[in-house]
Every structure is written in structure tokens, then in C-alpha cells.
Amino acid sequence: MNICVNGLLPQVKVPVGKHCGFVQFVRKADAERAIEKMQGFPIGGSRIRLSWGRSQCGCKCFPSVGSSSNDLM
């Protein structure tokens, strides 16, 4: 499956067995557009929920978007 979201992604994390993922964008506008376009997108029989994440370093260097679904692998 290919999911295309425009914007630079310096980091993408999908922890094994956690049913969630974290995507970091360089530009806030790209993250906002991804949330708008991908909210509720079906993956693996479930619809993803997107929300703003918090920075791992405590700074506002890169906007981060987290997603979760109880049914995703």
C-alpha cells in the first residue's frame, strides 16, 4: 500500500505491536494538510485517527503528527 502526503518527512516511526505511528514534518503547513486529508483514511480495515504530537526534544523544530488505531498492526 502506498500513501502519498506532500512534504518533507525527516522521521517516521511505527513501533512494533503498539498500533500507532509517528510522522515528523519539516513544515507545519504540510502536517496540517496531512491531518486534513488523511483523517479517517482506511488502513487494514480500520480508519486512522490523526492528532498533533509533542516534540521528543521539547523544542518546536519539526511539527509532529501521531496516528493510532486499535486494529492496525
- Average pLDDT on 42-56 reads 84
pTM listed for this prediction? 0.64
- What pLDDT, on the 0 to 100 scale, is given for residue 11? 84
pLDDT of residue 5: 63
Q: Is residue 53 part of a domain?
A: yes
Number of domains, the chain: 1
Is 3 a domain residue? no
Residue 1 belongs to a domain: no
Residue 57 resides in a domain = yes
Domain assignment present for residue 6? The answer is no
Q: Is the dihedral of CA 2, 47, 20, 50 positive or negative?
A: positive
The residue type of 15 is P
Q: Which of 1, 34, 21 is nearest to 72 (CA)?
A: 21
pLDDT of amino acid 41:
92
What pLDDT, on the 0 to 100 scale, is given for residue 64? 56
Domain span holding position 41: 11-68
* C-alpha 36 chain-centroid distance: 11
Q: pLDDT tens, 4-45?
A: 666 777 788 889 988 888 888 888 888 898 899 899 999 888
